[in-house]
Structure 1
């Protein structure tokens, strides 16, 4: 995948007989494929597992539950496209499914990334207002408020990527020059992409990170000075705070740091030929950048684990679901005919 879905008509890509970045068969593709397989399996399992208790929270008009539901929907939509990327790395960076599927897969990839970032940011602000200003904010914190915020985040991110898709030159997104047949791995990147990357890093990562850091700093300071909260509540608040910062540090920060570095090197390097410093930098960092892309996909695994398991209400509902299921099985066993019980026992 390239750094972003690119508006490429405004700036043609330089073509040479030899590629800017050589991507051959290696263990790297298998390593990346393994990360995506793990993300697909555990992401799907955790999101499906927590979907029912989250929906129960939504029925109770719980604001955090609404944020969690929108986060899970975004994660699941991306998870359903993850087999395309698994197939891509299984074929050693060869996209054999056509240009349209490449653009659609990229659309869900980047949309999920920034929907997750902005929803995590919204949740951090919501937590801050609840903890720091409970009386002033309680009357304004309604389910309608949460739905509107989620709708704004979805609309902004999806609209931006739809516009990019409309103006995107699919032959560049689906890079088949020199029979490479890559998906979003076009080198050198067009100037338009490099400029867009700088904006993306500033608005899509640095600004949310600043808001998130300030919000949780305020939360931790308020909780630490509150004598009315017990140690368990304080521990959960700290776990949530450091967990969100951890998601940004592990899943999103490495990708955006390298994305920023690639764009800066692009503008500082006048020579874009395969022998020039820019292509050499891209060659040296290609593996690292691919790994950061794979790490960013792990947010769909961590999101439900982090937010659901630190929530008392959701944890209780999960335990209740398991207890009810176990009780139902026990009641069925007690009321079942003896023959049925013998048959069941024989199958164990």
Structure 2
């Protein structure tokens, strides 16, 4: 007995297992009796049925939370007071988790393929490269200091248009991001921009809003690769598609809110995009090369694909190879650069 204690005390874990092996094995104890088997009726009452695949929650990440269910998505969509932005913002807040059914990254991670770094997760965790979001308690940035600022929010697809244009033209260090909490807006924001919406660009002591007007302004007033074409045919087609973008978004959002199957209007809108992508055969984008039209549609085409899979069990790009190439090609089109603070 003494040498066992000495082995444990002096040599610790090295000799302790050997000493224990010298002891006779303990008498095995019988396993506990199994619990009484419940009847089939009681099992049906006590065990809830498994949820369908679209309502399964993804495994939570460290410090994160599971994805909302299909019902949560639908309730938020129906309660959205401002249409498309509020509806899409709901899903973008859960961007850090892949789709349960498809395994694809959800909307905002797909937008990273168009030059957007990962946005905050639904708990508000933001990469260290991202500026903090300003709330009603935040001070106003200095005015008339010559800086160019893009007032934005991380989870709005209209903002993503301006964000993609900024990154494509290489203006990360010339156009500063100023994220605004739209649910808790600073009082000073409505004073500098009475429309009180994002995105808006502060440049040369004036404010430019409306996402389509803003990306045209950025293309015409800043250096970097051009996002418009000199070909009259392509430019005319670009204006037609830019004018149609709101119609496309409204048709898709109405289909998301509809409790039935995918509507005929949504199918027609998707087919129009598919056909439009094949009009010019010199590239995967609408005009062949990356342009303002691609920026206008990218956040919505990609975002709607994720929402329809999770809410409607309908893949908007299945059987539409041009749309599949369009989303994939965005990976190389825009540099994935972190925004300047």
Q: Which has the higher contact order (CA 8 A, sep 6+)?
A: 1
TM-score (norm: length of structure 2): 0.28
Answer 1 or 2: which has greater strand percent: 2
Larger radius of gyration: 2
